[in-house]
Structure 1
Amino acid sequence: MLKQAELIGVLYLENSLASHVFTPGRIAVLKLLASQAAIALENARSYSDAAEREAKIRRLVDANIIGIFISSRKGEIIEANDAFLKMIGYDRVDIAAGNMRLADLTPSEWRPSPARSLVGTDTPGAVQPYEKEYLRRDGSRVPVLVGSAAFDEQQDHGVAFVLDLTERKLAEAEARESERRYRETQLELEHANRVATMGQLTSSIAQIGSKDIFFAYMPVRR
């Protein structure tokens, strides 16, 4: 059974009751049936692979490990998992009402960024992960790492993966603050050491000077 010169399977027929059963006419019919069977098997395999891929994607979306959303070329978010909705403070009612658009979720200074989401642009292929910010529903901002790719060949829809960087940014800020305090403490200690050293030197010089003056003016007994 062949499809476009590719072997899909083998159909084996055997008849041990009579000879010359497989006439040219019957063989032609069998070839036609085998060709149709090959097409049916390939379609079933493709559907099975597609269903398996869809199931894997669905498990990833439902796992809520990272935020995931699907949006149209116009920038309308048409599907999102709970992790992304929680990240930006929206819910599924907003998706159903069409109230979630990438333009509304993106601060103005991030919109002209050269590394922008695939969805809503003409950039083919996938966009490598890059950092940006999203606007929450309450107006606050959330730092994120975003990567996206076309969801179909026409690029009418795209899927984006979003990682919340809030905890990492807080940790970085705390590390910078700790480093600043450490440097200030080091500078204070260095200053205190210099002051103490200068004090000791001044005291030593004063003591040496007073002795020299004492001996210089000591009256000589005859």
Structure 2
Amino acid sequence: MADQITLYTSPASPYSHAVEIALAEAGANFKKYYIDAKNKPEWFVSKVNPVGQIPAITYGGPDVPPDQPSPESVKLRESTVLLEFITELFPGAGLLPKDLVLRAKARLFLEISKSKLLPAWFGTFRKGEPIENLFAILEQLQAMLPPTGFVVGGYSIADAYIASILSRADIIFENNLNASGWPDDEGARILETLRGPRFVRLAQYKQDLFERPSFKSTFDKAALTEKYKGYFGTPGALQSY
């Protein structure tokens, strides 16, 4: 019997979604428990993740209810660490290629998505930073893609990570959601560029990402759209996911 895995997650969190996609790709048998990012239960902080962040995983130990984590299970956190853990726990899933150069390329793509793309996206709709900051990072990532397929040919954790960001960016722009006083047509203007000739390869890549069964089974766009709309009416909510 496989060791138990429990993923503590939040629907709004791109970090959590990336980990869930990877678990789905691996065919893992796991439990999923939603944590309210604005009202984390005390037991989660004291028994699962002392810094209170999601996602987090408990691994191994007895099969217990998620809200009663066993002291015998290993507690893991940080989305990129969890992605690497899943890759090694399920080597047959091929979430990183065997070729060392391709592995490095996948990790570089993931790192740029984490350290540059996410801040640029957050800065756009939270702080009203210039949209060209986001476009520049997307052009950099687009240039790293092969002519067809995924980042390093086969699907990898780099693809899982950016899929969670791009899907949420679509929701933000399609619904013109922002905390920075955008004009009413700003989201549509951004989407026009993203769907135009400047980002042809990225648009095809997004389509491939979103057609992946692991993505479809872990992403409820309608429900997430309503949740995001609610966030924009709640002071401080955007800082919590």
TM-score interval (norm. to shorter) = under 0.3
Larger relative contact order (C-alpha < 8 A, sep ≥ 6)? Answer: 2
Bigger radius of gyration: 1
More helix by share: 2
TM-score, normalising length from structure 1? Answer: 0.22
More strand by share: 1
